[in-house]
Amino acid sequence: MRTFKLTLAYDGTNYCGWQIQTSQVTLQETLERTLTKITGEEIRVAASGRTDAGVHAWGQVVSFASQTHLEPPVLHKALNAELPLDMVVRSVAEVDADFHARRSAKRKRYRYVIDDGPERNVFELRYAWQCPVRLDAQAMHLAAQPLVGQHDFSSFETSGSQRETSVRTVFELTVERGQGGDRVTVEIEADGFLYNMVRTIVGTLVEVGRGARTADWPAHVLEARDRKAAGKTAPPQGLFLVGVIYE
Amino acid sequence: MRTFKLTLAYDGTNYCGWQIQTSQVTLQETLERTLTKITGEEIRVAASGRTDAGVHAWGQVVSFASQTHLEPPVLHKALNAELPLDMVVRSVAEVDADFHARRSAKRKRYRYVIDDGPERNVFELRYAWQCPVRLDAQAMHLAAQPLVGQHDFSSFETSGSQRETSVRTVFELTVERGQGGDRVTVEIEADGFLYNMVRTIVGTLVEVGRGARTADWPAHVLEARDRKAAGKTAPPQGLFLVGVIYE
C-alpha cells in the first residue's frame, strides 16, 4: 500500500459540498469515482475538512491509500484529464503511511471575499458576497483582533454540531480593502475551525463594517459563548479554503 | 420622446450573444423585455455593437427612446431590481436626441484574458482562455505593434461578413503579463472592429507567444489581407468589451 497526498482546487458552485451524500453530486464522490477509474481500485479519500455547498478551495488537501503502480506525475496528469473542469489537482506527492489529511493538519487558512461596490459585480456572483452597503474595513480589522488567540469560539459555531471542545487558536485574522476598491477580504488562519465559524465571524464583522454595531461588539460576542449573540452566517460563495499547513 | 444612454455590464456565459434571435435567450431581448416591463412601452435598444455568445462586457453602451416620465436614477434602480443577476446597469443618463450608441461611438476598447498557468484555473473557466503553454508576453507585445495605426484588417475578419470597408484604426494594442504571474492580458482600442477581429488578433499573437511563429509574422499576416494567413480565432470567454468612447 502506498499513501498519496493531493492538493486540490475547486469551484464549489455546482456541488452539494464536499462530503458524500445520497443522490447529490459532491466533490468527494467525484474525486473518488475518478480515482477508481484511473487505478481500478475502490478508493476512499480523507480531506483536511469538509467544505459546504457553494464554498470553494484553492488548496484543499486530500490523502488516500492505493496499491497503484502509477507515479505521482502520471497520476497528476491522469486526474486532471478525467476530472470535471471545475476541479483541478495542483500537486500529487507520495507520503509516509501515517500521513492523514485531516489528523495531520496543523493549521488551515480561509479567505472570505466581500464585494461592496455600488452595483453588483456580475463577474463575482459565484465568488463573493455582494454587500449593498459600503463597509469600513479598518473598523472591521480592529474589531476582529480580540478574536486572535486561544478562545472558546462557541458563539461562532452553528448549533447542532458535536465537538469535544469549541476551543480553537486563531493565529491571524485580517480585514483589508483590496486594490480594486470595491473588494473587502477577510483572511483567517487557525489550528482548526468549528462548523460555519469563518462565515459567522464574517457575518459579525460586517455588522461593525456597516455601522450597525460598535467595534467592541465582536469581543462581547466571543465572551457570550452563545451563537445567538453573533451576527448572521455569511453566504457560502465568498468562502475559499486557501490552504492547509502540515508539519 | 426622451433619449437615454445606459452603460451595462454582463457575464455573457448564459446568453446566445447580444442580438435578438428566434428561440434563444439573448442580452438584447432580456434588456428590452425588462425596459418594457418598467416603462409599459415597447422599447427597442441600439447597442454600440454586438457581442458574441460567451463574450462579456464591463462597459457596453446602449441607447433607446422612450416617453417614460421616470428620471434616470429611478430607471437605474428599477432596471437593476428587474434584470437577471448576471446583467447590471452601471449608469443611466438622459442624452440629446441625436445620440446613438453605435453611430455616435468614436472608439471601443476590448480586453482579452489568457490564463497560461501550469494547470487550469477553475475560477477563470468562464472568464479566460486556458492556454496550456507558457506564453512569451513580451514577444507578443512587440509582434503586435505593427498592427497599430490605420490598416486594412481583412486578414483578421471572419469571412462572410459584409462591410463597406475593412480599414480600421487601432490606437493602442498592448500585451502584458499580470501580477498574478499566470495571466496575460491583451488590450486593444480602435475606432471600430471587424467581425471576430480581436479574437483573431489574439489567436495570431498566441502563435508568437508559444514560439510557433516569429515576432515578424503578425505584420506579414496583416499585409496578406487574407483570413487564411492568420491564426485561429481565440475562444469567446476571454473577451470583454471594456468600454465605448464618445465625443
Q: For B176-195, what is the mean pLDDT?
A: 93
Write out chain A residues lying below 8 Å of B14, CB-based: none
**Does the beta carbon of B107 lie under 8 angstroms from any beta carbon of chain A?**
no
pLDDT digits (tens, 9 = 90+) for A82-133: 999 999 999 999 999 999 999 999 999 999 999 999 899 999 999 999 998 9
For A85, which residue in chain B has the nearest alpha carbon? Answer: B122
Tell which of B122, B179, B237, B240 to mutate to test the A interface (max A CBs under 10 Å): B122
Determine whether the interchain pair B122/A90 forms a contact, defined as Cβ–Cβ distance below 8 Å.
no
**pLDDT band at residue A160 under the 50/70/90 scheme:** low
**Is residue A216 annotated as a catalytic residue, yes or no?**
no
Distance in angstroms (rounded) separating the CA atoms of residues A50 and A239: 13
Q: What is the mean pLDDT of residues B151-174?
A: 89
- The proportion of chain A whose per-residue pLDDT surpasses 90, expressed as a percent, equals 90
Q: Which residue do the cell numbers 455616435 mark?
A: B104
Q: Which pLDDT band, with edges at 50, 70 and 90, does B163 fall under?
A: confident
Of B87, B90, B122, the CB nearest to A11: B122
Region B208-226: what's the mean pLDDT? 96
B10 three-state secondary structure: strand
If pLDDT is split at 50, 70 and 90, which confidence band does A237 have? very high
pLDDT of amino acid A163: 73
Inspect the interface and report whether the beta carbons of A123 and B56 lie closer than 8 Å: yes
Q: For the whole model, what pTM was predicted?
A: 0.91
Least confident of B20-24, B186-190, B204-208: B20-24
pLDDT at A151 over 90: yes
pLDDT bin (cut points 50, 70, 90) of residue A22 is confident
- Which residues sit opposite A175 in a β-bridge? A186
More confident residue, A212 or A180: A212
Q: Chain B contact for A56, CB < 8 A?
A: yes
pLDDT number for residue A19? 87
Give B217 to chain A, closest Cα distance, Å. 33
State mean pLDDT over B37-50.
96
Q: Specify the pLDDT at position A23.
A: 78
- Rounded to the nearest 10 degrees, what angle do helices A197-209 and A137-144 cross at? 130
Cα gap B20→B101, rounded to integer Å: 17
Rounded Cα distance, B230 and A186, in Å: 46
* Buried b or exposed e, range B81-109, using 16+ CB within 10 angstroms: eebeebbbbbebeebeeebebeebbeebb
Q: Which residue matches cell numbers 431581448?
A: B29
In the predicted structure, residue B44 carries a pLDDT above the cut 70: yes
Question: How does DSSP classify residue A7?
Answer: E
C-alpha grid cell, residue B147:
498592427
Is B182's Cβ below 8 Å from some Cβ in A? no
For position B161, what pLDDT does the model report? Answer: 64
Mean pLDDT (whole number) for B121-136? 95
A80 in B contact zone (CB under 8 Å): yes
Percent of chain B with pLDDT strictly greater than 90? 90
